[in-house]
Amino acid sequence: MKTSIGLTLAATLLASTALAQDKQVTIASWGGSYQEAQSKALFQPAAEATGIAVKEETYGGMSDVRLQVSSGAVTLDIVASGSGSAARAGAEGLLEPLDYDVIDVSSFYPTLKSEFCVGGDVFSTVYAWNTDTYTDAAPQSWADFWDVETFPGSRAYRGKVAGALEPALMADGVAPEDVYSVLDSEDGIERAINKIRELKPNIAVFWSSGAQHAQLMKDGEVDMTTGWNGRFDNAAKDGAKVAYSFNQALLDYDCFAIPKGAPNRDTAMEFLAEISKAEYQDDLPKYITYGPTNKAAYDTGVISAEVAAGLPSSPENAALQLPISLEWYAKWETIADEMYQEMLTE
């Protein structure tokens, strides 16, 4: 018995030294079809090319990272995150700054990376409408979304502040490029919230998830909603009468970050450099209708013109949209969300 324990111990020690020589990273994402797409397009091919062993996990978001970092037991090397929560986690000191000498972002859209998080895919917050309800003319701007005279019908809107204030200001006549400077004060935030108050009698549902806003359109429960473009594409594939526009949409992205004190920090940096290359990113749209963050991915010939026309980050579509300002979210999100909740509970 004793010998067998001794042997096991020795074997474990040997195995761990052997593993330490091989490079490996642990990546956490959100599971489901999203992680499957990332795995097939990015993680697996990059692991094969670099020889870095990849262990995939699912996790519950930045609160998990906070727990790991504050307890000093960090097991994750790379986490997939929303851009906004990554910005806040970075400001809180939960993430390692990324080394852009290692990760080549020269052909990235400049707004799709930050000090702590490098963009992995691009999505849009759009307005979508029921094509049975609006047969003659479709809404073409946020002002149309607010115009219940020309476009009568019920609306759905997000139940959280993220991506909710920018459309309201654009509907109130603020030019897209001025939106974040107007929002840079409590008065500006209140102005946007007041605009939502104005529409509130026509808002039947404040949605809380992508699955929910897709279902609302599928069931015809509301005639117009805000939401994430990929979900509407999937709903339309399932036969939902739904269309959306990229005009004045909010261009946002998911990104990859390295938790503070990650066990394989340098390997993780190397791996992020690999999956940020155009040759991997151009495969992503095969599995999910989210666009690459690396502009060069459009030039490799893998993404057809037809597919590109439907992706949020295609140069034509990106030009129509307002990129999300992470600085604004890092500075204002908690305050703005509390103010938003006051409007919701009135």
Partner 1 sequence: MSDMSINASGLRRDETMERMRLLGLSSPALILVLVIMVIPVGWLFYVSFIGADGQFSLENYERMIKRKSYMRIFYTTFQISLLTTGLCILIGYPLAYFMSQLPQRIANLCLITVLLPFWTSLLVRTYAWLVLLQKRGLVNDWAMSLGLWDEPIKMVHNMTGTLIGMVHIMLPFLILPVYGAMRAIDRDYLKAAANLGASPRRAFWTVFFPLSTPGVFAGALMVFVLCLGFFVTPAVLGGGKVIMVSMKIVSNIELFVNWGAASALGVVLMLLTVAVLWIASRFLNLEKMAGGGH
* Chain contacts with partner 1 (rule: CB under 8 A): 61-63, 66, 85, 88-89, 92, 154, 159-160, 204-208, 219-221, 333-334, 337-338, 341-342, 344-346
- When the beta carbons of 320 and 344 are compared against partner 1, the nearer one is 344
Burial of 133 (0-12, 13-18, 19+ CB in 10 A): middle
> Minimum Å distance from CB 238 to partner 1?
16
- When the beta carbons of 12 and 208 are compared against partner 1, the nearer one is 208
> Minimum Å distance from CB 81 to partner 1?
11
- When the beta carbons of 53 and 67 are compared against partner 1, the nearer one is 67
Number of C-beta neighbours around residue 44 at 10 A = 14
- When the beta carbons of 48 and 342 are compared against partner 1, the nearer one is 342
H-state helical runs in 160-314: 165-171, 179-182, 186-199, 210-218, 229-237, 265-275, 278-281, 305-309
> Minimum Å distance from CB 60 to partner 1?
10
> Minimum Å distance from CB 221 to partner 1?
5
- When the beta carbons of 38 and 81 are compared against partner 1, the nearer one is 81
SS3 68: helix
Structure tokens at 49: 């090319």
Rounded Cα distance between 211 and 231, Å, is 7
**Cα dihedral 233, 237, 238, 239 in deg (nearest 10):** 100
Cβ contact 83:119 at 8 Å: yes
Compute CA 122 distance to the chain's CA centroid, rounded to the nearest angstrom. Answer: 7
Q: Which DSSP letter does residue 136 get?
A: S
- When the beta carbons of 148 and 344 are compared against partner 1, the nearer one is 344
- When the beta carbons of 218 and 295 are compared against partner 1, the nearer one is 218
Tell me the pairing of strands 224-228 and 155-158.
parallel
Rounded Cα distance between 296 and 236, Å, is 29
> Minimum Å distance from CB 65 to partner 1?
9
> Minimum Å distance from CB 274 to partner 1?
29
> Minimum Å distance from CB 330 to partner 1?
12
CA angle 283, 37, 22 (to 5 degrees): 90
- When the beta carbons of 307 and 344 are compared against partner 1, the nearer one is 344
> Minimum Å distance from CB 160 to partner 1?
7
Tell me the pairing of strands 224-228 and 322-323.
unpaired
Residue with tokens 């397009």: 41
